[in-house]
Structure formats: C-alpha cells, structure tokens
C-alpha cells in the first residue's frame, strides 16, 4: 500500500496574501486506472492553482483505488483508501477499470471498488450537469437550434436500485440463468427526489422524473413517491416520463429539460447520452453526495485504449474540481474562475482529440492542463485586483 502525502505548492508570496482557511482542507485523490491519473493530475493542479493564488494550501493524499488498488493491495477498495476517504473533506476520483482485470469475478473487479466506495460513504445522490458551452456549439451532433440551450442537471440515485439489489447465477439442467434485482424503498426514492426538487427550485423549477412505471413495480413506487413529494414543492412543475421516451426527448428537444431525477441505472445510461449531445462524454463532471465527504469524478470511464498517450480530455475532471471547490469548500469565486478559464481556453481554439474541430488547435491532456491553469491564474489575479480596486 502506497500512501503519498503531497502538500499544495506554496504560494509565491504567502505572507502577503490573506489566509482563508485555518487548517488545510484534506483532499483525497483517487486517480485509479487508464486515463484516470492523467486527468486527475490536471484537476489537482487546478486546486493547487487556486490555493497558490489564494494564499492557502490543501492537504492532498493520493491513494490506490480500482485496478490500481488491486495491484497495490489485492483489492479494488483497500482498507486504507476507504479510511482516508472517510477522513477527507472531499474526494477527487479519476476513473476505474481496464482489460487487465476483466477476467476477475464481478465483485472483485475495479468497478466493485467504486460501488463499494459509494456504498461505504453513503453517496446516494449523483449530480451530473450537462450544459452546452458556446465555444463547443459546433461539435454537438444536434442542429444548432436544438442544441443551443441545453442546460440540464441529471440527478441520479446512486446507492440503490439494480446496482445494489440481489445478484445471482445458477445452472439448472445445464441451462445457465442469472439475475439482478431492482429494488427501491420509498425513503430511498424520497431523499434523492427531495434533492432534485431543491435543485429545480434554484433553477427554472421543472423536474422530469424518469422511470419505467408501465412495466416495473419498482418504477411504480418511484412514480407514486415522487408525486407525493411534489405536493411539498408547489412551485415546481413535475412531469413523469418513461425512460424510453426520455431517451428520445433528450435527442429531439433537450431544452425542455431542467432537472431530471431518475434511478441508478437509468441515470447511468441517460447521462452518457446527454453528454454526447454537448460534444463529448469527456466534458461532464459529477458530484456524489451522502452523509459524509462528497466525491467528485468525471462521468467518463478509464478509456484504456487512450491511456498513457496524453490524448485524454481533462475537462470533466477540471469541472469536477470546480464543483468540489464550490460545493465542498464554499469557494464559489474560485469555482466560477475555473469555468471562465475553461471558456477562454476553448475560445482560443484549443481542443483535445474528442472535441477536435478543423479550425481548432489539437493539443494533449497535459498541455490543455497547462493552458487552463495559466488562464485560471490570470483570472484569479484579475478578480483579486478588481476586488482590491473595489475596496473589498
Ligand atoms: C459511471 C460509471 C460507473 C457506473 C461504472 C464504472 C461502475 O459508468 O459512474 O457512470 O455504472 O456507475
Ligand atoms: Mg456510466
């Protein structure tokens, strides 16, 4: 087991800057497998840049997880990794999985580490914001008039459903059979729906609850429970949608959606589809919330074929770091600065391979990170100068 404690780079002139935090916030980094380490490196640099500019520091601890956990410790979620996560202020994860571990039994694969971590931390809400960036309008597979106002928050239930129901297999009379049980309790549905309503109240007050209530009993409970909860949120317009229809509506008319709330598996599937509408799955961050520290991760996988080639898109990871700053650390100004810096890099035409455009300049993951961090530094400096000029 390798645990590495890295301090944030000291600020250029720490004494001259205002200290914002009493003791450094503990951030656990779980780079994981495939392109995970490459994109997490860039995202960790984003946090370091904010710390350096703000005159504070983060206490980073990098831990083995997923396939890397199996290699280091024989299991995808080593005890020490879980202990560090439980003790963290926030967790930044890369991605897990790869061909090297595909022959292992389901419960011992890297993905089992991710599910185990979500379960152990009680992470029952997963928020996946999907928004079209003006600079990337050209790469949406949709016609411009359909794509232009995509701004959706997918609230995915993360600790229940078919992912965590009974799994089994048997062979009877030479015939193989396997099953995975979708199960939900009303309180499990209520707590995630409650969050979706609250998000919608802060946005344009529309919730689409996605299920398959025409076929599945668990979906019928989902629909009844969400409907009951809606009475407590009279300002929110609730709509129910079957998942097959939702998949179609996302493609035909994505701007009809504000907040989508759905089960673990439907959320997994719909969020990949929605990501493609705004250009690439590499662009989308996520936040997982529960009873303890929150976890931030891009929604993409470990992309083993891209690993080690410096071609991965770090944007999902960068934006996950921005969500971490905003939601776990209350650093909204810094989070907004990351967003501004990202737009500037994209406006200047820099692109990783997945979001390449003929007119753009193709660069690698690390270079994208350097450019982003340089823009972020400049943005934070500008903001700080404007704050001083304004007497703040
Ligand atoms: C995701 C991923 C995971 C999931 C896998 C890697 C287990 O696809 O976070 O969307 O299915 O939840
Ligand atoms: Mg997925």
In a domain? residue 85:
yes
In the annotation, is 258 catalytic?
Answer: no
Among the candidates 283, 306, 332, a domain finishes at 283
In a shared domain, residues 92 and 217: no
In a shared domain, residues 279 and 134: yes
Cβ 114 under 6 angstroms from ligand 1: yes
Q: What angle do CA 11, 13, 17 make, to 5 degrees?
A: 90
In this structure, what DSSP letter does residue 304 have?
T
Mutate which of 66, 301, 302 to test ligand 1's pocket (most atoms within 8 Å of Cβ)? 301
User: Do you know the residue count of the chain?
Assistant: 392
In a domain? residue 373:
yes
In a shared domain, residues 143 and 275: yes
Confidence of residue 5 (pLDDT cuts 50, 70, 90): very low
**Distance separating alpha carbons of residues 297 and 301, to the nearest angstrom:** 10
In a shared domain, residues 178 and 261: yes
What is residue 19's predicted lDDT score, i.e. its pLDDT? 47
Question: What is the tens place of the pLDDT at every residue in 310-322?
Answer: 999 999 999 999 9
Confidence of residue 10 (pLDDT cuts 50, 70, 90): very low
In the annotation, is 212 catalytic?
Answer: yes
163, 195, 242, 296: the catalytic one is 163
In a shared domain, residues 11 and 103: yes
In a shared domain, residues 135 and 276: yes
pLDDT (average), residues 96-109: 96
The terminus-to-terminus CA distance of the chain in angstroms comes to 47
CA 229 to chain centre: 26
pLDDT at 254 over 70: yes
Q: What is the pTM of this model?
A: 0.93
In a domain? residue 288:
no
In a shared domain, residues 141 and 238: yes
56, 212, 242, 296: the catalytic one is 212
Mutate which of 76, 111, 267 to test ligand 1's pocket (most atoms within 8 Å of Cβ)? 111
CA-nearest residue for atom 4, ligand 1, is: 268
Range of the domain at 93: 1-121+293-392
Least confident segment among 92-96, 269-273, 381-385:
381-385
Are 123 and 87 a contacting pair, CB within 8 Å? no
What is residue 162's predicted lDDT score, i.e. its pLDDT? 98
Among the candidates 254, 283, 312, a domain finishes at 283
Q: How far is the CA of 53 from the centre of ligand 1 (A)?
A: 34
- Of 363, 384, 357, nearest to 312 by C-alpha is 363
Position in ligand 1 atom list of the atom nearest CA 302:
6
In a domain? residue 81:
yes
59, 151, 180, 272: the catalytic one is 272
| Domain total in the chain | 2
In the annotation, is 89 catalytic?
Answer: no
In the annotation, is 19 catalytic?
Answer: no
Question: What is the tens place of the pLDDT at every residue in 173-191?
Answer: 999 999 999 999 999 999 9
Position in ligand 1 atom list of the atom nearest CA 111:
7
In a domain? residue 206:
yes
Mean pLDDT of the chain: 94
Cβ 268 under 6 angstroms from ligand 1: yes
In the annotation, is 151 catalytic?
Answer: no
CA 200 to chain centre: 19
In a domain? residue 222:
yes
| Number of the ligand closest to the Cα of 301 | 1
Among the candidates 226, 256, 283, a domain finishes at 283
* Phi, psi torsion values for 87, nearest 5 degrees: -95, 0
The residues near 231 (Cβ < 8 Å, ≥ 6 apart) are none
In a shared domain, residues 151 and 110: no
In a shared domain, residues 203 and 264: yes
Question: What is the tens place of the pLDDT at every residue in 31-52?
Answer: 999 999 999 999 999 999 999 9
In a shared domain, residues 278 and 224: yes
In a domain? residue 140:
yes
In a shared domain, residues 384 and 363: yes
In a shared domain, residues 206 and 97: no
**Distance separating alpha carbons of residues 203 and 192, to the nearest angstrom:** 17
- Of 373, 331, 320, nearest to 32 by C-alpha is 320
Cβ 299 under 6 angstroms from ligand 1: yes
Count the neighbouring beta carbons within 10 Å of the beta carbon of residue 337: 27
* Phi, psi torsion values for 357, nearest 5 degrees: -135, 150
Query: Where residue 196 sits, what CATH number does that domain have?
Result: 3.40.718.10
In a domain? residue 87:
yes
């Amino acid at each position: 087991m390798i645990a590495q404690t890295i301090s944030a780079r000291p600020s250029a002139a720490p004494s001259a800057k205002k200290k914002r935090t009493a003791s450094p916030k503990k951030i656990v980094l779980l780079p994981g497998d495939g392109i995970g380490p490459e994109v997490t490196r860039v995202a960790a640099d984003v946090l370091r840049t904010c710390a350096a500019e703000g005159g504070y520091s983060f206490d980073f601890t990098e831990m083995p997880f997923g396939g890397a956990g199996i290699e280091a410790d024989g299991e995808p979620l080593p005890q020490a990794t879980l202990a560090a996560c439980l003790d963290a202020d926030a967790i930044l994860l890369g991605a897990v999985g790869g061909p090297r571990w595909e022959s292992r039994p389901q419960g011992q694969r890297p993905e089992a580490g991710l599910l185990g971590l979500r379960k152990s931390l009680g992470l029952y809400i997963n928020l996946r914001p999907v928004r079209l960036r003006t600079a990337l309008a050209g790469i949406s597979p949709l016609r411009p008039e359909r794509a232009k106002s995509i701004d959706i928050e997918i609230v995915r239930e993360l600790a229940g459903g078919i992912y965590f129901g009974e799994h089994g297999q048997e062979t009877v009379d030479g015939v193989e059979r396997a099953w995975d049980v979708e199960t939900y309790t009303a309180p499990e549905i209520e707590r995630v729906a409650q969050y979706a309503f609250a998000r919608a109240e802060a946005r344009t007050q529309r919730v689409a609850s996605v299920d398959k209530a025409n076929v599945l009993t668990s979906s019928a409970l989902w629909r009844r429970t969400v409907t009951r909860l809606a009475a407590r949120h009279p300002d929110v317009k609730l709509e129910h949608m079957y998942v097959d229809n939702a998949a179609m509506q996302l493609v035909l008319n994505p701007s009809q959606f504000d907040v989508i709330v759905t089960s673990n598996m439907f959320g997994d599937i719909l969020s990949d589809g929605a990501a493609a509408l705004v250009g690439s799955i590499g662009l989308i961050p996520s936040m997982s919330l529960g009873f303890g520290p929150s976890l931030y991760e891009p929604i993409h996988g470990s992309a083993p074929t891209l690993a080690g080639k410096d071609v991965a898109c770090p944007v999902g990871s960068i934006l996950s770091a921005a969500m971490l700053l905003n939601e776990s650390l209350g650093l909204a100004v810094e989070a907004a600065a990351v967003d501004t810096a990202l737009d500037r890099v994209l406006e200047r035409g820099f692109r990783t391979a997945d979001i390449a455009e003929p007119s753009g300049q193709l660069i690698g993951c690390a270079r994208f990170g350097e450019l982003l961090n340089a823009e972020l530094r400049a943005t934070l400096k500008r903001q700080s100068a404007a704050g001083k000029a304004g007497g703040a």
